Amino acid sequence: MSIRHAFASLCTLALLLASPLTLAAELQALRVANQKSSLKLLLEAAGELDNLPYRIDWSEFAAAAPLGEALNAGAVDVGALGDAPYVFALGAGAPLKVVAITHADGRFSTSILVPRDSPLRSVADLEGKRVVTNRGSIGHYLVIRALQDAGLKSTDVTLVNLLPSDARSALESGNADAWSTWDPYTTIAITQNGARILRKGDDLLSNHLYLAATSQAIAGKRAQLDDFVQRLDRAWQWVNEHPEAYARAQAKVTGLPVQVHLTSASNTDFRPVAISTQVIDNLQKTADIYLAEGVLTRPVDVSQGFDDSFNAVRGLPASQPTHSQPE
């Protein structure tokens, strides 16, 4: 750790040991981008919004793309994005840095789904078929990787850009042959509609959730960010230990049956991942593949989009390699 980062950590510790009432008045509010209530719901359910030494101003977003645009514009300080959406945000020239990473290892992770009675049995069978996904999403990236793995190109299928709600309807109505999506949509489609997994993404994707902050927030709100990443780590650990409570909290917000969320939560393990060379190299592969596919219009150097000094406050040394899951 550099002298600057060591000094910043000492300042953070001093601030967080001070009176919460004093800090609430002195520390600026942290502006957090929230995608479909995910982070706020998580922290509330885990009790991690209690005794905050600063105010959080939440902004709601329906999807990753507008969330990334808000980060680009500096309208928010920090938000969570998947691999592919974060590459897009960096490609737009945003001065962003990943400050924390969480890995989700679960049964209902990003997958390509087909109807239960579909004759399709492998990705190779998708040739000439209609595949729905959201352009620039992790689902889009999975389609590209899965087709490559099967010896096909993205031009060998018809990719249809739809948001998850419309994509689900397209699959159910027969207007699409396959749908590449992520949890909780995978859980809903499998448990409620009888969809079948054609190809899981576990060996093709990192299944990482990136918490990205603006450079301005890192410089001016370091104490808040140091505290926030620790609260998120504790909250994800709480989910691992209390899947039923988390599922009930989710159901209150989404309106979906508790069992849908419980099926997902009880089959998923969340764990912190250090920012490392391996993580950066794997995200660079995502950017390079998107460039080759014409999804990105110019090269993106993702190495500029990480700040490994946050590893220390999370108890993860900067040199620590990621867990041994395929990426």
Dump pLDDT digits (tens) for 116-142: 999 999 999 999 999 999 888 889 999
Structure tokens at 40: 């706020």
Residue 108's pLDDT is: 66
Residue 18 has pLDDT above 70, yes or no: no
What length is written for the chain?
327
Residue 210 has pLDDT above 90, yes or no: yes
Mean pLDDT, range 149-171, rounded to an integer: 94
| Residue 303 binned pLDDT confidence (cut-offs 50, 70, 90) | very high
Mean pLDDT, range 298-325, rounded to an integer: 80
CATH topology of domain 3-105+206-313: D-Maltodextrin-Binding Protein; domain 2 (3.40.190)
Integer Cα distance of 197 and 178 in angstroms: 10
Integer Cα distance of 233 and 270 in angstroms: 9
Give the containing element (helix H, strand E) for 247: helix 243-254
Let me know if the fold of 3-105+206-313 is the same as that of 111-200: yes
* Angle of the 258-265 helix axis to the 185-193 helix axis, nearest 10: 120
- Convert the pLDDT of each residue in 281-297 to its tens digit: 999 999 999 899 888 88
Integer Cα distance of 115 and 112 in angstroms: 11
Q: Do 254 and 178 contact (CB within 8 A), yes or no?
A: no
Going by C-alpha positions, the residue among 325, 89, 83, 288 that lies closest to residue 182 is 83
Integer Cα distance of 46 and 32 in angstroms: 17
| Mean per-residue pLDDT over the chain, rounded | 88
> Long-range contacts of range 241-246, CB-CB < 8 Å, 24 or more positions apart?
242/46, 245/45, 246/42, 246/45, 246/46
Query: Among positive and negative, which fits the CA dihedral 258, 139, 231, 25?
Result: negative
SS3 state at 272: strand
SS3 state at 150: coil
Q: Do 81 and 67 contact (CB within 8 A), yes or no?
A: yes
Going by C-alpha positions, the residue among 103, 91, 58, 49 that lies closest to residue 77 is 58
Mean pLDDT, range 79-87, rounded to an integer: 89
- Convert the pLDDT of each residue in 46-70 to its tens digit: 999 999 999 999 999 877 878 888 9
Q: In this structure, which amino acid lies at residue 182? A: W
Distances, alpha carbon 279 to alpha carbons 103, 286, 287, in Å: 11, 11, 13
Which CATH class name applies to 111-200? alpha beta
Mean pLDDT, range 174-182, rounded to an integer: 95
Structure tokens at 27: 């520390």
The number of angstroms, rounded, from the C-alpha of 156 to the middle of its chain's C-alpha atoms is 28
SS3 state at 270: strand
Q: Do 132 and 171 contact (CB within 8 A), yes or no?
A: yes
Integer Cα distance of 8 and 30 in angstroms: 17
Going from N- to C-terminal start, the domains of the chain cover 3-105+206-313, 111-200
- Convert the pLDDT of each residue in 29-43 to its tens digit: 999 999 877 899 999
- The values of phi and psi at residue 187, to 5°, are -60, -45
Mean pLDDT, range 74-90, rounded to an integer: 91
Structure tokens at 124: 């190779």
pTM greater than 0.85: no
